[in-house]
Amino acid sequence: MRENGRLAHTLATAFGLGYVPYIPGTFASLVTAAAVALLHRASDSATLQLGAVLVLLLPVSIWASARAARRAARSDPSHVVIDEVAGQIFCLLWVPFSWTFLVLGFVAFRAFDILKPYPIKQVERLRGGVGIVGDDLIAGLYAGLLLRIVYAFLP
């Protein structure tokens, strides 16, 4: 594997998280949620930092997931989990940090990613990295909007 191929593969698998034997996407989302929690405990500007990470992560995740999928000769290989990382981060940007919203955001994101309501399934069918990452971003958007609605109704 050429150097660019190795880098794309390492990033697409979220440094190997994609090789967890069972439910690698859920595991990557869980690790991402834990990392978000740690960042919030360590920094007063965690939301801003996560937003910046997401902006940088999006083009990288599209590139890396497309390369890894091409190499695996599959449209969305299960070991490619950088899309779950991006989607989970996007979901958790919608509300102030709390353990309740962290857990609810994790569950909601996974539910939307698995159930794929309209137009998530249609976006997933797009070719290459755009389809791989796009469906998770919409799942993150839906989950984030759900969190925002819950937040609006809390005292």
Specify if 112 maps to a domain. Answer: yes
Query: What is the extent of the structural domain holding 83?
Result: 3-12+23-153
- Count up the domains in the chain and report the number: 1
Specify if 18 maps to a domain. Answer: no
Specify if 17 maps to a domain. Answer: no
Q: What is the pLDDT of residues 95-133, one digit of tens each?
A: 999 999 999 999 999 999 999 999 999 999 999 999 999
User: What is the pTM (predicted TM-score) of this model?
Assistant: 0.95
Contacts of the segment 96-104: beta carbons below 8 A, 24+ positions apart? 96/47, 96/151, 97/36, 97/37, 97/40, 97/46, 97/47, 99/37, 101/147, 101/150, 101/151, 102/33, 102/36, 102/37, 104/146, 104/147, 104/150
